[in-house]
């Protein structure tokens, strides 16, 4: 189910930041999807990303996907073309949904096209894109915000909370109506998310790569979604997703690239 090996193989892709002739995107698309047809997803996918990231190391990126009539969303991939690990997050739904929303805090290493690819249950691929500017801080190599030893002491701690209805990212009637049927759940993960490009400010040695590899989320005892992460995830990442409003409990399993596993079980608000 996981595509960790493929994501790692795409590390350090480079390109010109031009949509129409984006060499990086062409290479990424080919490695991920081969010669499969990609359809214009502007009527299916609404993206919410800042024009310029106020904090390159913790930029909140979001998208809402509504499947065409009679179909459901099965998988969503977030690509930051110019990031060192461009395939930045993959959401695979064990229980496909008519609509799906996510937001996630990311490192955006420099100005980059951003692509969101949605796969519907009929096997079709839909893609939408935008462009994200940055402050030029080189977020993937920026020093950690916390002392590495202190960060490791709390690594794997998690909290989850339902924070209301899933946001609506478009004025289109279909998107508005479907988003109103789902709640938004926020998951906070304590993890340093070391990119492998950061330098210890005392030893001046590079800190080994270590990031959230996967997050499995079950609702009411049944599989709901698995997120595959990358070094693009911010330090102490927050992940928000839409969940059916009927959901009464959640179980989360986080696994990082060093093999650390942590678990969380919680009854959701109102039950």
Q: What's the CA gap between 22 and 27, in Å, rounded?
A: 9
Residue 63 lies in a domain: yes
CATH number at residue 19: 2.60.40.2470
pLDDT at position 269, please? 74
Q: What is the pLDDT of residues 51-106, one digit of tens each?
A: 999 999 999 999 999 999 999 999 999 999 999 999 999 999 999 999 999 999 99
Mean pLDDT of the chain: 86
Select, from the ranges 13-22, 117-126, 197-206, the one with the highest average predicted confidence (pLDDT). 117-126
Residue 270 lies in a domain: no
Q: How many CA atoms lie within 13 A of 74 on its CB side?
A: 9
Question: Which segment of 91-95, 165-169, 260-264 scores lowest on mean pLDDT?
Answer: 165-169
User: Residue 219's CB: how many other CB atoms inside 10 A?
Assistant: 20
Residue 196 lies in a domain: yes
Higher pLDDT, 7 or 95: 95
Residue 269 lies in a domain: no
Residue 190 lies in a domain: yes
Of 126, 52, 90, nearest to 213 (Cα)?
90
Residue 265 lies in a domain: no
pLDDT at position 105, please? 98
For the residues of 211-223, what is the DSSP string, one character each?
Answer: -EEEEEEEETTEE
In DSSP terms, 159 is beta-bridged to: 188
Q: What is the pLDDT of residues 236-251, one digit of tens each?
A: 999 999 999 999 999 9
Residue 267 lies in a domain: no
Residue 139 lies in a domain: yes
pLDDT at position 37, please? 97
pLDDT at position 174, please? 46
Determine the structural domain holding residue 22 and report its residue range.
Answer: 4-259
Q: What is the pLDDT of residues 105-134, one digit of tens each?
A: 999 999 999 999 999 999 999 999 999 999
Token pair recorded at residue 51: 């024009």
Of 51, 92, 54, nearest to 72 (Cα)?
92
User: Structural domain tally of the chain?
Assistant: 1
Residue 82 near residue 114 (C-beta atoms within 8 A): no
For residue 24, what is the enclosing H or E element? helix 23-33
pLDDT at 137 over 70: no
pLDDT at 145 over 60: yes
pLDDT level of residue 7 (50, 70, 90 thresholds): very low
């Amino acid at each position: 189910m996981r595509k960790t090996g493929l994501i790692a193989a795409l590390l350090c892709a480079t390109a010109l930041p031009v949509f129409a002739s984006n060499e990086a995107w062409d290479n990424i698309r080919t490695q991920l999807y081969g010669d499969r047809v990609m359809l214009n997803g502007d009527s299916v996918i609404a993206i919410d990303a800042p024009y310029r990231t106020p904090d390159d190391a913790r930029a909140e990126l979001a998208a809402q996907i509504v499947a065409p009539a009679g179909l459901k969303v099965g998988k969503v991939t977030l690509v930051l073309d110019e990031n060192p690990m461009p395939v930045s997050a993959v959401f695979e739904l064990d229980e496909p949904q008519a609509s799906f929303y996510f937001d996630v805090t990311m490192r955006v290493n420099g100005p980059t096209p951003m692509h969101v690819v949605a796969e519907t249950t009929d096997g079709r691929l839909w893609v939408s894109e935008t462009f994200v500017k940055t402050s030029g801080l080189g977020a993937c190599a920026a020093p950690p915000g916390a002392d590495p030893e202190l960060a490791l002491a709390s690594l794997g701690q998690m909290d989850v909370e339902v924070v209301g209805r899933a946001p609506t990212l478009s004025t289109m009637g279909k998107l508005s109506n479907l988003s109103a049927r789902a709640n938004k759940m926020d998951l906070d993960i304590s993890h340093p998310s070391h990119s492998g490009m950061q330098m210890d400010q005392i030893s001046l040695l590079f800190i080994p790569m270590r990031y959230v590899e996967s997050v499995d989320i079950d609702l009411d005892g049944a599989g709901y979604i698995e997120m595959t992460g990358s070094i693009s995830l911010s330090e102490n990442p927050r992940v928000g997703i839409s969940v059916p409003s009927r959901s009464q409990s959640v179980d989360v399993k986080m696994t990082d690239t060093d093999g650390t596993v942590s678990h969380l079980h919680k009854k959701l608000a109102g039950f």
